[in-house]
């Protein structure tokens, strides 16, 4: 699937990541959009553990805010629906991974998984985050198959993957030096909705249904929505920019490799408004 990949990325590591993270379930509760409580359950023990509860969660004013929750079962990655849907999801996942980690443009779409981290390692990617504050001296630039970046994402991924936010906040390089962790971080990013966005997984398997506001902004189920979720600010609502068309090319490539098609893929996001 990735003939020019860096030797760091192995099929065995990918399968191990899928298998191990598949033992984890989450319940993500929110008050409005920014106050979280996250409960993590290891299926092997069946024991739920609250790994994150924001300081304001039980405040009287917060309890009056709109409440929502989502259940996430990482074991449904590319396995939730029928074989055709599952293959389309895998093609979409691989397409975005390949674009994020490619080196070169020869038109053959064989150059993904060539980078373990972004080239500009001087970019610190630090933002204010009460739940996941940065660790002094650590940089949170893009690492892994989907280029996990920013301390908030590293901390959240660490809570979900390990049940301990400090693992990746203290050692973000794990995402670029441990291939199993790298793939787990990518699957986390793919399957975990953030703020107003659905997860790419829910989009590709048909769980996400656009609301009136989404329809007005031309957000439709299909591959194009995964681009919007991952890099919409840069690649969506800007016409046929390279990043978007490259992801689409990879998607069609992996569909062919997996022996399926997606004729009504809604692949483009050229006229789709990104999320703020």
For the annotated catalytic residues, the residue numbers are: 100
Which pair of tokens denotes residue 90?
């895998």
5 Cβ neighbours under 8 A, 6+ residues apart: 112, 113, 114
- Name the nearest CA neighbour of 268 among 251, 253, 257, 206: 251
Which pair of tokens denotes residue 183?
């793939």
| Rounded-to-integer distance, Cα 270 and Cα 261, Å | 21
Alpha helices in the chain (DSSP H): 11-21, 60-63, 83-100, 151-162, 166-170, 174-177, 179-191, 200-205, 212-216, 223-235, 242-257
Listing from the earlier edge strand, what are the strands of the sheet with 35-42?
47-53, 35-42, 24-31, 67-73
């Amino acid at each position: 699937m990735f003939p020019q990949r860096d030797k760091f990325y192995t099929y065995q590591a990918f399968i191990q990541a899928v298998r191990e993270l598949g033992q984890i379930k989450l319940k993500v509760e929110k008050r409005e959009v920014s106050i979280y409580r996250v409960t993590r359950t290891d299926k092997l023990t069946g024991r739920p553990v609250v790994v994150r509860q924001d300081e304001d969660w039980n405040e009287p004013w917060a309890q009056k805010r709109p409440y929502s929750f989502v259940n996430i079962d990482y074991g449904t990655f590319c396995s939730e629906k029928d074989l055709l849907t599952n293959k389309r999801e895998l093609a979409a996942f691989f397409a975005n991974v390949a674009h994020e980690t490619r080196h070169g443009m020869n038109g053959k779409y064989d150059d993904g998984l060539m980078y373990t981290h972004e080239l500009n390692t001087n970019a610190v990617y630090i933002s204010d985050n009460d739940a996941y504050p940065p660790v002094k001296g650590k940089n949170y630039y893009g690492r892994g198959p989907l280029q996990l970046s920013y301390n908030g994402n590293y901390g959240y991924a660490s809570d979900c993957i390990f049940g301990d936010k400090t693992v990746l906040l203290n050692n973000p390089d794990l995402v670029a030096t441990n291939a199993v962790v790298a793939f787990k971080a990518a699957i986390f990013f793919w399957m975990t909705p953030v703020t107003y966005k659905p997860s790419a997984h829910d989009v590709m398997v048909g769980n996400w249904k656009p609301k009136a506001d989404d329809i007005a902004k031309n957000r439709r189920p299909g591959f194009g929505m995964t681009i919007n979720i991952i890099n919409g600010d840069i690649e969506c609502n800007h016409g046929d920019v390279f990043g978007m068309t490259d992801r689409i090319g990879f998607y069609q490539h992996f569909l062919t490799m997996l022996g399926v098609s997606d004729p009504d893929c809604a692949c483009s996001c050229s006229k789709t408004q990104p999320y703020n």
